[in-house]
Structure formats: C-alpha cells, structure tokens
Amino acid sequence: ASPAQKLVFNRVNGKRPQVLLPQISAPEECYTLAHEENVRFIYEAWQQVEQQLDGSQSGDSTCGPVQYVEKNPNPGLKNFVPIDLEEWWAQQFLAKIQNCS
C-alpha cells in the first residue's frame, strides 16, 4: 500500500498569490410594499394622536390621549434631542438618489 498522494501548489517566482478580498459595502436598503404600508399606517396613526393631543391642550376635547410627563426628569437626559424622523427619511431618500446617479 502506497501512501496517498499530496497535492503541491508551487508559487510562481516564489511570490505569494494575490488574494482578492470581496469588497464590503453598505447593504442596499430594500423596502417591500408591506414595509411601506406599515410605515404609512404608523405615520398616519401618529398624526391622529398628535391632532388629538393638540385638541385636548386647547380645550376642544375632554377625552383622548394623555401625554406622559415625568415628575422627576432624569438629569442624564437633560440634553436629549429626539430624532427628526422626517428629516432622516429625506436624507435616506436623497442619498439613494445620489448613489443611483
């Protein structure tokens, strides 16, 4: 019984072969119709809540959503700035347009 043969790869001119690494790029964001419907539903529902809150603050309505306000605010959140979702979506939309052109 002879030993199993081994494959031997010789380098050309003694140099290492170039290894091409796949380029890692940001994944293309793909929005499905269901995703867009969900976003639209949440957006429209939130618009209704904001309208009801505005109405209850001006005295138009006696019932509706109640806005939560902390009695003892967390000092660590003193400089907290909420994200402007509409601005973020606009930036994403413009970036997508610029990448396509």
Distance, CA of 66 to CA of 31 (rounded, Å): 33
SS3 content of the chain, % helix, strand, coil (to 5): 45, 0, 55
Q: Check residues 65 and 22 and name the one with the higher pLDDT.
A: 65
Predicted TM-score (pTM) of this structure: 0.37
pLDDT tens sequence across 22-44: 555 556 678 899 999 999 999 99
| Residue labelled with tokens 């930036």 | 91
Q: What are the residue boundaries of the structural domains of the chain, listed by start?
A: 31-56
Token readout for 19 is 């290894």
- Give pLDDT, residue 36: 92
pLDDT mean over 53-61? 69
What are the C-alpha distances in Å from 26 to residues 8, 80, 82? 38, 28, 25
Distance, CA of 23 to CA of 79 (rounded, Å): 39
Q: Please count the other Cβ atoms lying within 10 Å of the Cβ belonging to residue 51.
A: 14
- Give pLDDT, residue 66: 77
